[in-house]
Structure 1
Amino acid sequence: MSAGADQTPTSSTYVEKGKAFDRDMNYIPDRITRDARVPEHGPRDVPLWPVEPGRYRLVAAKACPWANRTLIVRRLLGLEDVLSVGLPGPTHDQRSWTFDLDPDGVDPVLGIHFLKDAYEKRFPGYPRGITVPAIVEVESGQVVTNDFPWITHDLFFEWRDFHRPDAPDLWPADLREEMEEVMKRVFTEVNNGVYRCGFAGSQEAYDAAYDRLWVAMDWLEDRLATRRYLMGAAITEADIRLFTTLARFDAVYHGHFKCNRQKLTELPNLWGYARDLYQTPGFGETIDFDQIKAHYYVVHTDVNPSGIVPKGPDPAVWLTPHGRH
């Protein structure tokens, strides 16, 4: 089947019998840039919107790893006062992510129950999945973009006038070329690799996906043996992108997605690294293990038809000393 970043399915299943998982990477391509300028990096021939404090609302479910990235970047850069956030609940049906954590199930700023309403307001009959993260223009109530890799990129490069003074350099110029290669491998083999395992429609597709995932996990374990973070001594966007998968690994991907050669806690470098990030301000407070487990184990009915949500693992292990200083 084809599915995008934790989106609502267009059918009742995520697994297509006999087929390998294929992620749909077609998103709303609009970019939000300083003064609606043509961006220096990435897609340029796309609709452009100007950076304006208070104009937009980031809709990002804590359950979703792709949305989780945006919550971390927003906090690290200090954008809380200029870009508000709406938090859908962890479960949804085929229609849309919903704001069932808010009073009366309605987002207090956008005034909608279904995220689908913001998509439909701009694109009536929107044919693709309703994905998070999404940025919505508050006044019009219309979705602007859901192109998750470019959302965090632009929060760094285009919203700089509003960063806190000591905001980290998430895209260091001297490391960017290598970082892009690292992030590409992390995305294809790990971020997406766990889904390739979990939504495999045949034994052959699963076996191939499993092997690809663990080649990459071994590469990361080796890489982190000689450096604190993926690119060296400082946190970058690459770490944020890997962290949201690692945070879900033992709670969801190990069992639910059958990525079970080892648990994260059995990989010394990756486990220490993940705890190091979790205990860094901006990371751990964006993680809600109950929401994460509810999303995967309840929504993926073809993978977990019973709908039973496991009680473990104990999240307290994330606060144990990491030894990565």
Structure 2
Amino acid sequence: MSVVVPASLLPASAAPAFRGRIGRDAASGHYAVPHRYRLHVAPADPDCLSIAVTHGLLGLDAALPLRLLPEVPDAPDGSYTALRPLYEASAHLYTGAAAAPVLGDVWTGRIVSTHVPDILRDLALRFRGDGPDLLPEEHREEIDTLAALCADGVHRAAQRAGELGLDPAADARREAAEALGTLFAALGGLDARLAGRPYVLGDAPTLADVHVWGALVQLDTVHRWHLDAAALERVASHRALWAYAQRLAAQTAFARHLDVEAVLRRHRAHCRGREAAGAAIRIVDWGAAGTGR
């Protein structure tokens, strides 16, 4: 059964967090059945891209169809009109935004989950089939730690550094330097981990690679526009990390739904930050892979 935060308790523009899970069998209500569910994603969004990559690694095209949405929602409140019926069927008198990603139940016409960590886990655990083990029992805690590192140490740190880097105020510049320090530490740790190994946790892909690769895509396609050239030169100096990013970008599961121009259009649709000198530095040729050629 889905757990929903009532729309009446949320801001008008916020989507409720649907937290239904896919169980082991029919007794759980939602269970893994071919063609019962559909994933609605806008791959230009980093969370949606992580789901699309996981879907590709598991080879789920036939069992769990993927519905691709445009990079920019088509309604003023940030909603996708195509998702509105699912939200309205899933939450009584729903008036909030209809946002992606969504794991929908075709049988009931309702939402199972919009919570990205749960969707990733359920794909890896319940829909694996003959696909790779993306969430090995012995590495689950480490994968969670790496996911947090990517979110806080890479994405949020780069975002914070870019927001404050061009502010002449001393406090802002000090905070920007601290954020860059966090970013460089995270990249350095990942670079050392990837020296001499093809994937983050060894010889096979896991959800750790989905998180790390997605963070690198955002860093080199979005965050670099707001970082100065000196910062980007240091970012680019992590050679093992960026060689890994380029290598994965050549694999179908990672490249298939990567559209760099769509990522940039989505970013520009809501970004009001100033461009910095780092915008001229591109580390990986993302456009040579996926749909962003």
TM-score bracket for this pair, using the shorter chain length: 0.7 to 0.9
- TM-score, normalised to structure 2's length? 0.77
> Number of residue pairs matched?
268
Partners in 1 of 2:244 and 2:92 — Cα distance?
A: 44
Please list every run of 5 or more consecutive structure 1 residues that lacks an aligned counterpart in the other structure: 1-9, 13-23, 39-47, 99-112, 321-325
1:22-71: CA deviations, max 9, x gaps? xx998321112232566xxxxxxxxx522222122101111011111111
Note if contact 1:57-1:136 (Cα within 8 Å) is conserved in structure 2.
yes
- Asked if the contact 2:51–2:120 (Cα under 8 Å) also holds between the matched residues in 1, the reply is yes
Mapping 1:193-212, distance limit 5 Å: 193-197=157-161, 203=172, 206-212=176-182
User: Could you say which residue in structure 1 is the equivalent of 2:61?
Assistant: 80
**1:240 matched to 2:230:** no
Tell me, yes or no, if the aligned pair for 1:197 and 1:257 is still in contact at 8 Å.
yes
Q: What residue number does 1:323 align with?
A: none
User: Who is 2:77 aligned against?
Assistant: 95
Alignment partner, residue 230 of structure 1 = 200
Residues 123-134 of structure 1 aligned to structure 2 (within 5 Å):
123-126=91-94, 130-134=98-102
Query: Separation in 2 of the partners of 1:176 and 1:289?
Result: 30
The correspondence of residues 1-325 of structure 1 with structure 2, limited to 5 A, is 27-36=17-26, 49-92=30-73, 93-98=75-80, 113-126=81-94, 130-160=98-128, 163=129, 165=130, 167-197=131-161, 203=172, 206-256=176-226, 261-262=231-232, 265-300=236-271, 302-303=272-273, 316=285
One-letter identity of the residue aligned with 1:158: R
3-state SS in 2 of match to 1:62: coil
* Letter aligned with residue 244 of structure 1: G
Q: Name the amino acid aligned to 2:137.
A: A
1:133·1:148 contact (CA, 8 Å) conserved in 2? yes
Shift of 1:314: 9.6
Secondary structure of 1:135's partner? strand
| TM-score, normalization by structure 1 | 0.70
Cα distance change of structure 1 residues 318 and 230 upon mapping to structure 2, 3 Å threshold:
farther
In the alignment, the residues of structure 1 paired with residue 254 and residue 193 of structure 2 have an alpha-carbon distance, to the nearest angstrom, of 21
User: Could you tell me how far apart the structure 1 residues matched to 2:229 and 2:40 are?
Assistant: 29
Higher mean C-alpha displacement, 82-91 vs 288-297: 82-91
* Cα shift at 1:197: 4.3
Q: Which has the higher helix share?
A: 2
- What's the % identity of the aligned pairs? 25
Once the two structures are TM-superposed, the CA of residue 135 in structure 1 deviates from its matched residue by 0.8
Cα shift at 1:257: 6.8
Alignment RMSD, CA only? 3.5
Distance 1:262 1:248 in 2: 13
Cα drift, residue 87 of structure 1: 1.2
User: What stretches of structure 2 of length at least 5 have no aligned partner?
Assistant: 1-10
Could you tell me which amino acid in structure 2 is paired with residue 171 of structure 1? L
